[in-house]
Structure 1
């Protein structure tokens, strides 16, 4: 029986003794089947057809997902539970199941009290899943999937990678709410008899504690996680996977140091599914190799694909440029990023390339902004020379130097007008610089971020206290100081971004304010996260300014 066939028949097969672990507590296959049956009964009794699922616990999620599929209904997987996301789902789904914070915009579905018969194997042709694209180049879009697309991809993954990790437990630092985490953290172990860890790995130091006793581990990670590895001597894993965004070249040496191997990078998207892979071990090829049953070709520098993981059987263009090399292909960037600014066609790829060519810039992303008018926004990581200009002459001088360098690329009316300079590109939990995440940097209430340093405890963020911040208005005329409530807001903002905190704010403890923070200061915000508590500390050359802990609900 293939992995695809086992997934289709999962609730009809004899359950394994242990299907996964919830931290250090084993979860039996019988317990999982019973939970899925209860969810099946609940969804079958509901008159709706489309349901949004959001769980932090991967085993609870998997039981609800298979129970929903067994009832013949369609699952929608939002990437987050922000109020805007919940409101957007309100008119598109008939109910919600999982960890929804109040107030709920959707009617909730809870597992029924009694189990239901498992029924027949799932219909692989049924379009029973909707995921969302990442939003890297625009607003996230819905992406429907047939069950067969997902299940066949699991067969391909096992064929390509399974031999090296037979019997290992699967742990992940990525969410199963996105297609990469769904495939690797949930469906792959369920289809192949590997135990899956229900809890998400937040820091690598937790790897040993979340690995079942006596088991080896497979780590499903994101580029963002692998780019900030701690100073560990070694982490014992059979395989490490990375997907969802490009893995920076600079992350590979640290991965070799910590894991003894480079991650297996998987190239694909929500729309295409998995396409190809590579592993940049020493002396290994840098090109991408197609996954089993995936065909590719190059037309006009664009990568075209034909794959059982696509909705249509024919050849389809991807969103990436590529070039054929011996043994595979190389990726050359996005194929179509054309926008209109002031009625002028602008290639975002060309403008980004021109900015990267400047000795003042190390990395950059562009976004289109509509308020107060249509214009380009630039989120850039300055080079050492760029930071020197920024610190000596100010942000405006650096921005004007970059605008001058674009004179041969853009007409004057289309030149970027808004700039944000950061120590690193802002990314979401999947390691992607999405439009929403980039746009958040232009919130005038955010303090300028000068540096970010990873520590054994968490993160140290160096903030520049700009006198133009609107939080200083009225507080106090002639003697501006940064209000304590603003310091708490910043701690929560950066804590959620740095640690992926999704729980609701639940209180504070050990709160202390020792010194005021005034304009023009350079202040370090130290953050650490453990057991539902975000510890923060503001300090500078003058000493400690404030400290405390913010409490959050956990699933």
Structure 2
């Protein structure tokens, strides 16, 4: 355990041993119980320095993270757990082991099963909150393979604490006994920050489950006291509204991982009877800006962050961003700490001298009445015979191809109409609502097109 000092910060913001840090199906978990579980798990962890924590139960994941921290271990947070990703992790960290709470886990690493802590055991350290060195590397977060070869980005405790402090301030949850319900996995950077660290470092609590279907989300909201915060994605929120089911009110909705339309934001606020705050960020910088999407298209930078433009590239620096970092997005600074986001630089499309972005095209496609879900993408062979052709995959059970193409012609330049336009029963989104490029390519090969 790191002893208190000027270069340490606490693991928890909670100050009372009976404060609630988590909610499980059998009731609340106090700080005293949590710390006892942390030290019991920490005592039995293997010697390896690197941990792949794949616990599906959010409380167990959080205990595993805290136990790793007090033992000086580093959590590995890749974007997927495919066999190829695991092989890459073994090369990167040969001493890595997998912490799991599933007997069916088939990840090819030495496995350590999360113990069955049925009874509360007092922490050997009492209720003293562990202090963590600000320079300690907490995790390596890996960039998504969809934007290039996975690359590790170290996250130190000090930078993460500053990031979460700025988020808590912006969301207005400081000093509030809120409960976080997350539809995103804690292993994803967004879920890691906004469903785990936000609770630990701001005095809130987490819901241990990960509701996915609308009925599960409604059940989770009903299972915890107010104030409650739903941390979700545009995909999950769109599915929730489409279900047209009774959903208990929330006190705040947070969304990230993909751009959210203003219309969807307005509908979510009406359904859940609370504000919706959208977060913009990336693996390299963490959370960078927020906006209330129902009211404005402008983003506001997190506390202490600044943007600078050099040679047409936008750099983020200050605040929790420890070194100037280039952003891979098309950003238009407006005034002060505000900016507009026009999509990813890699999403730019140029056809016959006309330019657009996949983000803009996707927004127009999903705004068409009757479209449940849809996405444009550029196939691997898009430059065949020197002709750029976009593909779109869409879930629109009540529309035919001619009707949908006519609706698109009214919204986008005909040069960007998809060829082919593929209809599917569902899109192959992952747990955070993103569409891996490889999955889209496989869907295109399987379903074909025009």
Compute the TM-score of the two structures, normalised by the length of structure 1: 0.64
Which residue among 180, 183, 208 is the counterpart of 2:190? 180
Contact 1:133 1:142 in 2 (8 A): yes
Gaps of 5+ in 2: 1-5, 369-373
In structure 2, the residue corresponding to 1:143 is in which secondary structure?
A: strand
Render the CA deviation track for 1:354-379: whole Å, top value 9, x for unaligned. 988999x97753345379x9997844
State the partner residue of 2:40. Answer: 38
Contact 2:332 2:339 in 1 (8 A): yes
Deviation for aligned residue 1:195 = 2.0
Contact 1:276 1:291 in 2 (8 A): yes
Deviation for aligned residue 1:29 = 2.0
Higher relative contact order (CA 8 A, sep 6+): 2
State the partner residue of 2:10. Answer: 8
Contact 1:379 1:421 in 2 (8 A): no
State the partner residue of 1:253. Answer: 266
In structure 2, the residue corresponding to 1:187 is in which secondary structure?
A: helix
Alpha-carbon distance change, 160 to 10 in structure 1, aligned in 2, over 3 angstroms: same
Render the CA deviation track for 1:217-260: whole Å, top value 9, x for unaligned. 11111111112223246631110000111113442232132123
Which residue among 379, 392, 407 is the counterpart of 1:380? 392
Alpha-carbon distance change, 74 to 116 in structure 1, aligned in 2, over 3 angstroms: farther
Compute the TM-score of the two structures, normalised by the length of structure 2: 0.77
State the partner residue of 1:227. Answer: 238
Alpha-carbon distance change, 357 to 325 in structure 1, aligned in 2, over 3 angstroms: closer
Which residue among 308, 321, 330 is the counterpart of 1:321? 330
Distance 2:359 2:236 in 1: 26
Contact 1:379 1:438 in 2 (8 A): no
5 Å matches for 1:265-414?
A: 265-281=278-294, 284-299=295-310, 302-312=313-323, 315-326=324-335, 328-336=338-346, 350=356, 352=358, 364-367=375-378, 369=380, 378-381=390-393, 387-388=401-402, 405=415
Matched, 1:200 2:210: yes
Deviation for aligned residue 1:75 = 0.8
Contact 2:307 2:315 in 1 (8 A): yes
Distance 1:204 1:261 in 2: 18
Alpha-carbon distance change, 78 to 358 in structure 1, aligned in 2, over 3 angstroms: closer
5 Å matches for 1:11-160?
A: 15-43=17-45, 46-93=46-93, 94-99=96-101, 101-110=104-113, 117=125, 121-160=131-170
RMSD over aligned CA atoms reads 4.4
Distance 2:448 2:38 in 1: 46
Distance 1:179 1:195 in 2: 18
In structure 1, the residue corresponding to 2:281 is in which secondary structure?
A: strand
Contact 2:14 2:200 in 1 (8 A): no
Deviation for aligned residue 1:28 = 2.4
